[in-house]
Structure 1
Amino acid sequence: MDLRGISKSFSGTIALNGVDFSCRTGSTHAILGENGAGKSTLIKIMSGVLQPDRGEMHLNGHPMRFWSPAEAAKCGIVCVFQELSLMPDLTVADNISISDPPRSFGLINGREQKRRAEALLARIKCEDVNPNTLVRNLSLSRRQMVEIAKALGMQPKVLILDEATSALTSRDVETVYGLLGDLKNENVASLFISHRMHEVDRLCDTLSVFRNGSHVDTFAKGERSSQEIVRMMIGRNVEAHFPPKPPPRQALPFFEIENLSWENRLKGVNLHLGKGEIVGLGGLDGQGQKELLLALFGVLRGVGGAVKASGSAVAASSPYEAKTGRTRIALVPEDRKTEGLMLPMSIADNLLAASFDKVCSGPFINGIKEKAAVEDGIRKLQIKVNKASDAVATLSGGNQQKVVIAKWLMTQPDVILLNDPTRGIDVGTKQEIYKLMRELADAGKAILFYSTDYAELVGCCDRVAIMYDGVITRELSGEAINEETIVAASLNISAQTAA
């Protein structure tokens, strides 16, 4: 597939500027760059979601122009977007075959549709997913795998994966690795967008770097070091990946979690946070970390145990009570698209969604206060916007995440809960978030930080609490915070045993 001179602008902002790009069959090709570099615009043009302002696209030497994803899919170009396209109120089987369901006598053949779904799910080792289950009842990781099964069902010649592993469990990530190897042997071209350099290094044979809407370079794996690639992506040297930690200290307990339980997911969690402390939540995915954050934010019902702040009970029976109580709590959720943002609404409305009471005079919004608050949020998080009145959906993934974080910081929280906040964003924005976390901690905030990236736990956290089967089995501090110890504790074994 070849693209020549592709350009695209949105409201005067250049997203792609005369880009040339090629990929070949039987290869796995990484597309790298910061959020806003033009990667998403490029793959949306390739897959028929957008049409270029200028330029040409050729498939197997023939000129092509796709006016819809359906047209692109008929030619074998299929994209698994970071924003899932599944319909939550339909079954898994319905979603997998939605573009071309099997028919008998003009009617959808439900039995054949289910059989087809079972075969595709088995191919990606998701036999535990019932084809008759509604998608809304699946975890984010399982929904992502269903999205991949749906793409495979279209028999792609060019498969585009946009951060397809960022929401997956470690087991599912390994499955996707194997799948890409199989597709390479089947002469399929795979385009792989990821901000996880270890994945790119393991999977991809060719790498292309984009920056500010331009194609910087394409090269074979191994021709550039990781540091060189990062410099190409962000246009500057990266001196330090994580901000320096303060010297180890014994923080006085401020936010205390005592014997917290919920159904069979939390089984007596005990943990405390100190003011000015970043405490990491580690462990294999699905051990209760997400449920713990939701319970603390008042989302779950029937939670047992106690939560205290400065010795007084915290009664957060709803998110509203959590954000407005005497000890204010904020949660940056796992999925910014569905849980953190209202995509069709403006950037300004999203920024103020949790704190409209702070910009009101009586029952009415004070326009001066509103404008000042929005400008302050954009400035503090360095959110790249054209106009605050633009829909938040027009922003890159990293800037959308900044909007979610800024929204909750506007509530002036005392305790900040972070659920994998750097998932699917570029290295430059990640570093901005790491720096912000440390600045918030230095300002006296208590931060509970769940991450599926062990390097983040090592680099950012003053302590790390490892969860296993709904309880905290080990707390790490000082030199014990290293990837080997975290992995061993996550498997509920000692580092010595692992060695």
Structure 2
Amino acid sequence: MALSTLRERPTLELRAAAKSFGPVRALRGTDFSIVAGDVVGLVGHNGAGKSTLMNIIAGVVGRDAGDFLIGGTAIGADYSPAKALRHGVRCVFQELSLCRNLDLAENTRMLHASLRGFGWRGRAGRLIHGMLEDIFPEHGIPLRAKVEDLSLAERQMVEIARAYTDTDLPARFVILDEPTSSLGHEATAQLLRFIRRAADRGVASILISHRLDEILEVCDRVVVMVDGEVVGRREAAGLRRRDLVGMMGHIETPLAEEATRRSLGIKRIATPGTPGQELPIEASAGEVVGFAGLDGHGQRERLRMLFFAAGGEGEAAYVAGDRGAEGVFPLWSICENMTIRSIAALRDGLLISRVRERVMARDWVDRMKVKTDGIDRLLTTLSGGNQQKVLFARALATDAPIIFLDDPMRGVDVGTKQEVYRMIREEAAAGRCFVWFASEIEEMANCDTVYIFHQQRATTRLQGTEVTSARIVQASFGEDALV
């Protein structure tokens, strides 16, 4: 069927979709549609209902009410992930779904039942390798490697590539939930270009992202959700970032003024074998220090080295960006996840005071605006961004003088980011030090000092008004040295 014919009517449509989880109304009669070859951006704050809507489309959860049609055919209550696959629906979840103990070919086989019989491994390997090359040229990911041995960015690439693979079941609608959250700048640009190429072939993509510039760059239309409802639908052409922020109901405000500092004494950790070729890293109480540079140039590794060097009981706290692997306890409650780092402060003699524990949890739920109906709910009942708020609260609730942030804004909406930025400045003004690695250059504007890493070394230091996107990009390619 020609693409022009496919665009004549919606090929996937939800009408008045409703879904509740206990007392929480995740969707309140939501309408959503997408046509073949269309790229739709879905934006909204954490807890707005975006993931619930996409989980209904992917067959992961059932709707309580509303109509669902694919290709004009009504979808019944027995809809499931297996049936979604047969309809060409694929989903790249924010919490990646690859099997960690399997390699790339084996993970691809799980999606395509037709890859069976003699030689299936070779066919599966060629399929995933070809798509990886198409989307992420020169990715360098070994096919025989188990997923658990890959970096977070590499796992994200594999999950994206697998979603677009075709066998007897072609991909028709691909849901991408925060697909660039762990990708470097080049891989992100490659993915956005591929999404447009896929659209030209008639593959529709639904892009959920808090990186609004990416939404505006690649999407045909933008749908805005607030509290389980669609509050706006606009053509992307001509839209500006401030328009989207305004539709979501948040106003971006300036950061607080720089804080007064006192010496904290974080010691330098030098790279062995390169004396005189690397800047000492210095941080003071009341200062926010950023680590930036191209992906894979050592900034994350250095942050971890500093964390362990500054460690000791109560001396440092850490906020992980890869919350699934390093941050959350999925079988614990919100309260337990939030207070685990503060056990010493919650002791009443030899025991933990449950009263103080619950007071602390409720206080930080309110301060971080975690969207939940109770602190005793499992952490996994929260959206990804709200889970990340719990990790921030866990670190900030301690009395640790140094907080290390390991690309912590993954999957966090723009409004929450502004709230967290403001809280970081308030905590810094009270004397805390923050050491912050971020993959998004724009986040470095919140730092007093930024160290740019090139070839595993800190080679450039920017301070105050020197901290600009242009200077960071320039230094990331090694055009500044030991400044």
**Contact conserved, 1:101 with 1:113, CA < 8 A, in 2?**
no
The residue aligned with 1:490 is: 476
**Separation in 2 of the partners of 1:71 and 1:239?**
42
Normalising by structure 2, what TM-score?
0.91
Instruction: Select the residue among 206, 225, 228 that pairs with 2:243.
Output: 228
Partners of 1:399 and 1:108 in 2: CA distance: 44
Q: Name 1:206's counterpart in structure 2.
A: 221
Map 1:110-129 onto structure 2 (within 5 A): 110-124=121-135, 125=137, 127-129=139-141
1:16 to 8, 24, 27: 27
Q: Aligned in 2, Cα 1:262/1:141: closer, same or farther, shift over 3 Å?
A: farther
- Whichever structure has more strand as a proportion of its residues is 1
In the alignment, the residues of structure 2 paired with residue 3 and residue 263 of structure 1 have an alpha-carbon distance, to the nearest angstrom, of 60
1:48 to 46, 54, 59: 59
After superposition, the C-alpha distances for 1:309-346 in whole angstroms (9 at most, x for unaligned) are: xxxxx5x4xxxx3xx15xx1111112122211112321
Tell me the residue number matched to 1:360.
Answer: 347
What does 1:113-192 correspond to in 2, within 5 Å?
113-124=124-135, 125=137, 127-154=139-166, 155-192=170-207
- Which residue type is aligned with residue 357 of structure 2? E
AA matched with 1:279: V
d(CA) in 2 for partners of 1:431, 1:219: 24
Q: Contact 1:259/1:268 (CA < 8 Å) preserved in 2?
A: no
Alignment of 1:287-302 (within 5 A): 287-298=297-308
Amino acid at match of 2:206: L
Deviations 1:200-255 (A, max 9, x none): 1110111111111111121211354332321111x25x152x413328x7x55423
**Per-residue deviation, 1:145:** 0.5
Measured in 1, the distance between the counterparts of 2:468 and 2:49 equals 35
The one of 77, 80, 86 aligned to 1:68: 80
Could you tell me how far 1:104 is from its partner in structure 2? 5.4
- Paired position in structure 2 for 1:80: 92
Partner of 1:95: 107
Pairing 1:242-281 to 2, within 5 Å after superposition? 242-246=254-258, 251=261, 253-261=263-271, 270-281=280-291
Deviation at 1:297, TM superposition (A): 2.5
Pick closer, same or farther for the CA change 1:6–1:104 going to 2, 3 Å. Answer: closer
CA distance in 2, matches of 1:103, 1:145: 21
Shift of 1:100: 2.4
Cα deviation, 1:115-162, whole Å, max 9, x if unaligned, reads 333222222225511111011111111100000121112531011111
Asked if structure 2 preserves the Cα contact closer than 8 Å seen for 1:457 and 1:464, the reply is yes
What's the secondary structure of 1:385's corresponding residue? Answer: coil
Q: CA deviation at 1:68?
A: 2.1
**TM superposition score normalised by structure 1:** 0.88
3-state secondary structure, aligned to 2:210 = coil
Q: Is residue 467 of structure 1 aligned with residue 453 of structure 2? A: yes
Whichever residue aligns with residue 270 of structure 2, its letter is: L
Q: Does 1:25 align with 2:36?
A: yes
- Stretches of structure 2 that go unaligned for 5 or more consecutive residues are 1-11
3-state DSSP class of the match of 1:133?
A: coil
C-alpha distance in 2 between matches for 1:401 and 1:461: 20
Cα distance, 1:150–1:263 mapped onto 2, change above 3 Å: farther
In structure 2, C-alpha distance between the alignment counterparts of 1:24 and 1:263, rounded to whole Å:
57
Is 1:480 aligned to 2:477, yes or no?
no
Letter in 2 for 1:117: I
The AA in structure 1 aligned to 2:284 is G
Distance 1:493 1:21, change over 3 A: same
Residue in structure 2 matched with residue 380 of structure 1 by the alignment: 367
Q: CA deviation at 1:61?
A: 1.1
Q: Which amino acid aligns with 1:96?
A: T
How far did residue 22 of structure 1 move? 1.1
What secondary structure does 1:42 align onto?
helix
Question: Does residue 285 of structure 1 match 2:295?
Answer: yes
1:440 aligns with 2:427: yes
**Mapping of residues 402-421 of structure 1, within 5 Å:** 402-421=389-408
Counterpart of 1:340 in structure 2: which amino acid?
G
| SS of corresponding position for 1:400 | helix
Residue 347 of structure 1: which of 319, 325, 334 is its match?
A: 334
Deviations 1:408-435 (A, max 9, x none): 2222110111112222211110111000
Please, which of 388, 404, 409 is the counterpart of residue 401 of structure 1? Answer: 388
Distance 1:382 1:204 in 2: 30
Deviation at 1:442, TM superposition (A): 0.2
Contact 2:262 2:286 in 1 (8 A): no
**SS at 1:98 equivalent:** helix
Tell me the CA shift for residue 347 of structure 1: 0.3
**Pairing 1:295-334 to 2, within 5 Å after superposition:** 295-298=305-308, 314=310, 316=311, 321=312, 324=313, 328-334=315-321
Q: Structure 2: which amino acid aligns with 1:88?
A: R
Specify whether residues 360 and 252 from structure 1 end up closer, same or farther in structure 2 by C-alpha distance, changes over 3 A only: closer
Please name the residue that 1:425 is paired with.
412
Are the structure 2 counterparts of residues 122 and 225 from structure 1 closer, same or farther at C-alpha, using a change threshold of 3 Å?
Answer: closer
Task: Give 1:14 deviation, angstroms.
Answer: 0.8
Deviation of the 1:34 alpha carbon: 0.8
- 2:219, 2:371 → 1: CA distance? 30
User: Is the CA contact 1:8–1:14 (under 8 Å) kept in the aligned structure 2?
Assistant: yes
Give the letter aligned to residue 401 of structure 2: D
Amino acid at match of 1:476: L
